[in-house]
């Protein structure tokens, strides 16, 4: 069972090429508004086939709510939803069954599940499994919005292209850009770079930043349920995500204490910090400043350039050239996944701390 959360708990099921993918959210108080149109808006933002720089797999990704909702509100039972897979082609994976893709979970899937593994489309290791994460996260985001909590996620850098302008201030600002890098000049450069990469049969990674505004101080639990622990656990459920840092992150390793420490000041009503190197978190608990973290998304492992592999049945050297439809820049669709999944974690932490 694949589950996340404490006070509210998300369980996901299904696979990339199976008939359905779905999820269940348990712990929602009865009477919580469930805005299906709002949830669908976020699902559409991660949907494949919406741009030349995404996989051309054609899926509607329309949410079907099958339990836990009555007249647009939760009824106290587990909120359960489904997505039907329609446009999948199993034959694209015939050659990959015994020839694992470098960088992909094909090999470790074989080590763990052997001949019984679900390998078509990457099975439940596929990025398609982020669908229920977005559905549950969008529901959480709609709840947090009522408390004035805003989450902003955007692509900060990709390859040798980095943002030059100030980051966006609104949760939806980034979706007006072709690559979801909210810098007009860099956005165009990155878009053209991705088109070039597509022609070459390669892929590209990125750094994606998230800021959570207006989280009250005192959210989070020491030790194993710290804000960093819970966010990191959730983020590493996203296929292709290989690194997380909070605030100044690894740059703290080259600082002096006098540089790294966020000095306090007050406006007479609340205590704030002049810098935010700690990412709004001290001792695993929010300090009232924006919660800030960045993640590293690796380049998609499914590329058309020939790569060396090993046939797992003969143990002979082999070569793989991936066919089919794959994202050359998975970060484009990862942005709404990270954004909404962050909302789920923050909501769960606030419920645990009785902050709602």
pLDDT at 355 over 90: no
Average pLDDT of every residue of the chain: 92
Average pLDDT over residues 288-309: 95
DSSP at 163: -
Angle, alpha carbons 136-182-297 (nearest 5°): 55
The region, left, alpha or beta by phi > 0 then psi within -120 to 50, assigned to residue 260 is: alpha
Provide the whole-model pTM. Answer: 0.94
| Per-residue confidence (pLDDT) for residue 89, from 0 to 100 | 59
Would you call 319 helix, strand, or coil by DSSP? strand
Q: What's the mean pLDDT in 183-193?
A: 97
Instruction: Among 124-133, 257-266, 293-302, name the one with the lowest average pLDDT.
Output: 124-133
Mean pLDDT score, 330-344:
97
Which secondary structure element, helix H or strand E, spans residue 38, and what is its range? helix 36-46
Q: CA-to-CA distance for 233 and 251, rounded, in angstroms?
A: 22
Tell me the CA distances in angstroms from 67 to 71, 130, 212, 324, one per residue in order.
12, 20, 30, 35
Counting the structural domains of the chain, the total is 1
The confidence score (pLDDT) of residue 55 equals: 79
- Report whether pLDDT(239) > 80: yes
* pLDDT at residue 118 in the model: 74
pLDDT score, position 120? 67
Whole-angstrom CA distances from 20 to 62, 118, 134, 331 are 12, 14, 16, 24
Domain of 325 in residue numbering reads as 2-352
Q: How far apart are CA 329 and CA 281, in angstroms?
A: 31
- Which pLDDT score, from 0 to 100, does residue 51 have? 85
Q: How confident is the model at residue 154 (pLDDT cuts 50, 70, 90)?
A: very high
What is the average per-residue pLDDT within 32-59? 89
Of 13-17, 19-23, 54-58, 306-310, the one with minimum mean pLDDT is 54-58
pLDDT surpassing 80 at residue 130: yes
Residue 255 confidence (pLDDT): 97
What b/e readout covers 249-261, taking b as 16+ CB neighbours within 10 angstroms?
A: eeeeeeeeeeebe
Instruction: Give the model's pLDDT for residue 1.
Output: 54
pLDDT-derived band of residue 121, with 50, 70 and 90 as boundaries?
low
pLDDT at residue 96, rounded to an integer = 78
Which CATH number do you get for residue 107? Answer: 3.60.150.10
Question: Residue 356: pLDDT above 60?
Answer: yes
- Residues 67, 74: contact at Cβ < 8 Å? no
For 227, other C-beta atoms within 10 Å of its C-beta total 26
Write down the pLDDT at residue 56: 76
pLDDT grade, residue 122 (50/70/90)?
low
Please, which pLDDT band fits residue 336 given cuts at 50, 70 and 90?
very high
């Amino acid at each position: 069972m694949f589950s996340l959360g404490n006070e509210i708990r998300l369980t996901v099921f299904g696979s990339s090429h199976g008939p359905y993918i779905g999820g269940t959210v348990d712990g929602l108080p009865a009477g919580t508004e469930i805005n299906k149109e709002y949830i669908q808006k976020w699902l559409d933002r991660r949907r494949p086939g919406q741009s030349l720089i995404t996989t051309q797999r054609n899926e509607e990704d329309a949410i079907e709510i099958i339990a836990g909702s009555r007249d647009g509100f939760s009824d106290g039972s587990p909120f359960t939803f489904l997505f039907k897979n329609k446009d999948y082609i199993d034959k694209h994976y015939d050659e990959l069954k015994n020839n694992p893709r470098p960088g992909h979970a094909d090999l470790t899937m074989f080590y763990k599940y052997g001949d019984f593994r679900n390998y078509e489309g990457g099975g439940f290791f596929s990025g398609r499994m982020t669908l229920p994460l977005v559905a549950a996260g969008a529901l959480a985001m709609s709840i947090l919005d009522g408390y004035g909590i805003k989450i902003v996620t955007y692509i900060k850098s990709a390859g040798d292209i980095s943002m030059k302008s100030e980051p966006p201030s609104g949760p939806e600002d980034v979706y007006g850009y072709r690559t979801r890098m909210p810098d007009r000049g860099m956005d165009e450069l990155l878009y053209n770079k991705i088109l070039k990469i597509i022609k070459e049969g390669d892929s590209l990674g990125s750094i994606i930043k998230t800021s959570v505004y207006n989280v009250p101080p005192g959210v989070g639990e020491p030790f194993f349920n710290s804000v960093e622990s819970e966010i990191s656990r959730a983020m590493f459920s996203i296929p292709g995500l290989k690194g997380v840092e909070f605030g100044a992150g690894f740059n703290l390793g080259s600082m002096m204490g006098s540089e790294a420490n966020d000095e306090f000041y007050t406006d007479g009503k609340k205590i704030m910090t002049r810098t935010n190197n700690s990412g709004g978190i001290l001792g695993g608990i929010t300090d009232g400043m924006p919660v800030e973290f960045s993640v590293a998304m690796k380049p998609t492992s499914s590329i058309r350039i020939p790569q060396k592999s090993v046939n797992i049945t003969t143990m002979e050297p082999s070569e793989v050239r991936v066919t089919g439809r794959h994202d050359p820049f998975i970060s484009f669709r990862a942005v709404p996944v990270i954004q909404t999944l962050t909302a789920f974690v923050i909501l769960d932490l606030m419920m645990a701390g009785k902050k709602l």
